[in-house]
Structure 1
């Protein structure tokens, strides 16, 4: 059992349950375009189908996201990974870990290191829908289908069960 799955085994707090039930109800009324929630009886783990946007490298391709919610969601970010096979993308590792950046001018500092909305710059105001839209935007803006340069090293280091939330991400290319 990985450290991330051990954490996800803790029961959701009442606040987390209420928030997730509200988000799920909103999703069912108005799902983000290009996404489909796969219905299960597990509120703590969502499986979401992602359809690549038309006119992009990922058009007509379908992937699955696995979203695991921690006990204290939304005060703590969910863990979001692509289930195998993960799309080929410069910010998606072959094990499904995502380096999702916030490329807004406010998020970048003077040396172009961006903040990561699934990690350091998580905000309780974010929702599963906003995460999905950010992921689709990241996929849609890619100009190449390739793994990150350090994919093999990173995936090898994650074999011990490391969660992507335990990674210190560094990003220097805000064009992808």
Structure 2
């Protein structure tokens, strides 16, 4: 994780490495309940994160593993974030891709790793919907999940649990 002599940190520039070092220190000194994040041993721009499913949602008591990759111009561009844990949700596809505006056109350099993870945790309990009636999903990546979210909560939860794998199962 140290900076190389030429001021570059494993493929990223010094500014990116400094920002990520600061964020890591913030995460370590001021942990946020329900989220973790840490860099790869070899590359400061590749991180693994976890988020706990929020209480009183179909995701309660589940843990989700994610990957985060930071471009050379971070924090001016969003990280690439993917769910590694299989997930069933209107705003995530079966490849782990995420439809969340702050990871796309609404990104701001004021956001950080914690902000992203808390936003994803919130999205688990409150999928993105259009604000005007009828309250349809604005950009579902999983149409079936979007349809079942309100229509059949019991079936929705069954499919969430059927798809989920614990982090240790993913590492096996």
Counterpart position of 1:135: 120
Cα deviations across residues 2-37 of structure 1 (Å, max 9, x unaligned)? xxxxxxxx8111110110000000000112221122
Cα deviations across residues 120-166 of structure 1 (Å, max 9, x unaligned)? 11111100000011000000225xxx961289xxxxxxxxxxxxxxx
When Rg is computed on C-alpha atoms for both structures, the one with the higher figure is 2
Cα deviations across residues 50-103 of structure 1 (Å, max 9, x unaligned)? 111122110011111100000111111110110142x21000000000001xxx
Runs of 4+ that moved beyond 4 A: none
| One of 128, 142, 149 as aligned partner of 2:143 | 149
1:147 and 1:99 map into 2 onto residues whose CA distance is: 7
2:38 and 2:20 map into 1 onto residues whose CA distance is: 15
Counterpart position of 1:96: 96
Q: Which has the higher mean CA deviation after the structures are superposed, 122-131 or 40-49?
A: 40-49
2:83 and 2:36 map into 1 onto residues whose CA distance is: 14
Contact 1:88 1:147 in 2 (8 A): no
Counterpart position of 2:40: 40
Q: How does 1:97-176 map to 2 (within 5 A)?
A: 97-100=97-100, 116-142=101-127, 148-149=142-143
Counterpart position of 1:27: 27
Contact 2:90 2:144 in 1 (8 A): no
What is the DSSP-based 3-state SS (H/G/I as helix, E as strand, rest coil) of the residue aligned with 1:15? Answer: helix
Aligned alpha-carbon RMSD (Å): 2.1
- Count of residues in correspondence between the two structures: 123
What is the DSSP-based 3-state SS (H/G/I as helix, E as strand, rest coil) of the residue aligned with 1:135? Answer: helix
1:78 and 1:121 map into 2 onto residues whose CA distance is: 13
What is the DSSP-based 3-state SS (H/G/I as helix, E as strand, rest coil) of the residue aligned with 1:94? Answer: coil
Unaligned runs of 5+ in 2: 1-9, 128-139, 146-172
- Alpha-carbon deviation of 1:39? 5.6
Unaligned runs of 5+ in 1: 1-9, 101-115, 152-176
Of Structure 1 and Structure 2, which has the larger fraction of its residues in helix?
2
2:94 and 2:30 map into 1 onto residues whose CA distance is: 31
Q: Which has the higher contact order (CA 8 A, sep 6+)?
A: 1
